[in-house]
Amino acid sequence: MTTVPSGSSADPWPIRPLLAGLVDDASLVQPRLTAPSIDAVVARYLSARDGGYGGMIGHLVCPVSRLPQLVTELARSAPARPVELALVVDTGLGAVPKALSTVFSRSSLLTPRTVETAAPPDVDAVWLERVSEFVPDDVTAVVEPRRPHDGTDVEAWLEAVQKVAEHGCTPKLRAGGQRASDVPTVDEVERFLEVTVGAGRGFTAIGLREAVRPAPETAGDRGRHGVLNLLLAVARMLGTGGEGTVAEALHETDPRKLAADAEALSDRTVDEVRGRFSCCGLDPDPMSVSEFARLGLL
């Protein structure tokens, strides 16, 4: 695979296109009791973005309710260039115009890239059109249909994902979280990919904490999904990811095998994969980008 510059003047290392801009810092959407402070998140994000592997760092994810604090901290920190922002709606869609106005008025600090919101259980075209009206054309609307935690109504969840994709919004997959039930099964992830790839739409993910799945899925433990597993699963869903099935890519726990499979992807396949799987939100503390370096992928 070829490499491209990371885009940071302080970063001498190139980042492979498969991983470029992939990792969003979603620390601020953790529960407030466990989330790190704004100043700690900003310092860590800017250090990572402007550091050795900065080309892998994507958006800083921030809830609307914490935007004023973020603006204040960024003004104090004086970043070398604007922070690419993923704005998460946590106070209702009605708060989006004011939040975006704040962001656009601070163009030296922030550049809005996505507006992300959870979908109601009865998501329909009327609600999706309302979301689209609030989001400017040059900002991506990301919608998360909530997956049932008890394994029931999976078909209804997938139908909601289909509606989101067909409307032109970007579906979000919650791949992990505070509860064990936040982790979807391998079958559920595969079916999500079938819907989004089949619709010709991209998707984002949140809750990924590992570069590679650390342990197999069992009847009593869904384990944790890996970023590299998901990238290769998308490649196989597209039919250009080498030998093996989508499920096998999602189940794989051998880091070296996954790294070798990633190395074997053609440039065209990499472009197609990242066109579908644009970014994943995670807290960088549990999973450092250095994991990818140890696998020889950076």
Q: Which pLDDT score, from 0 to 100, does residue 283 have?
A: 66
**170, pLDDT greater than 60:** yes
With 60 as the cut, is the pLDDT of residue 5 above it? no
Q: Where are the beta strands (DSSP E) in 169-248?
A: 170-174, 203-206
Assess whether pLDDT exceeds 70 at residue 1: no
For 237-267, the pLDDT digits (tens) are 999 888 899 999 999 999 999 999 999 999 9
Percentage above 70 pLDDT, the chain: 94
Element (H, E) at 203: strand 203-206
Q: Does the pLDDT at position 4 exceed 80?
A: no
Q: Could you tell me if 31 and 178 are in contact, meaning their C-beta atoms sit under 8 angstroms apart?
A: yes
What tokens does 18 get? Answer: 């498969």
* Collapsed DSSP state (helix, strand, coil) of residue 266: coil
Is 96 within 8 Å of 135 (Cβ atoms)?
A: yes
Token digits for 73? 């901290």
Residue 33's pLDDT is: 79
pLDDT at 121 over 90: no
Tokens coding 214: 């650390």
Lowest mean pLDDT among 58-67, 91-100, 215-224: 215-224
Our measurement of the distance from residue 273's CA atom to the centroid of its chain's CA atoms, rounded to an integer in Å, reads: 13
- Using one digit for the tens of pLDDT, what is the confidence trace for 183-222? 999 999 999 999 999 999 999 999 998 999 999 999 889 9
Query: What integer pLDDT is reported at residue 149 of this predicted model?
Result: 76
The string of DSSP letters for 103-138 reads HHHTTTTEEEEEEEEEPPTT--HHHHHHHHHHS-TT
Residue 287 has pLDDT above 80, yes or no: no
pLDDT at 150 over 80: no
Q: What is the pTM of this model?
A: 0.92
Q: What pLDDT is stored for residue 285 in this prediction?
A: 59
Q: Is 74 a residue whose pLDDT tops 80?
A: yes
Q: Per-residue confidence at 148, pLDDT binned at 50, 70, 90?
A: confident
Rg (CA), the chain: 18
Domains along the sequence of the chain with CATH: 17-293 (3.20.20.70)
At residue 85, does pLDDT exceed 70?
yes
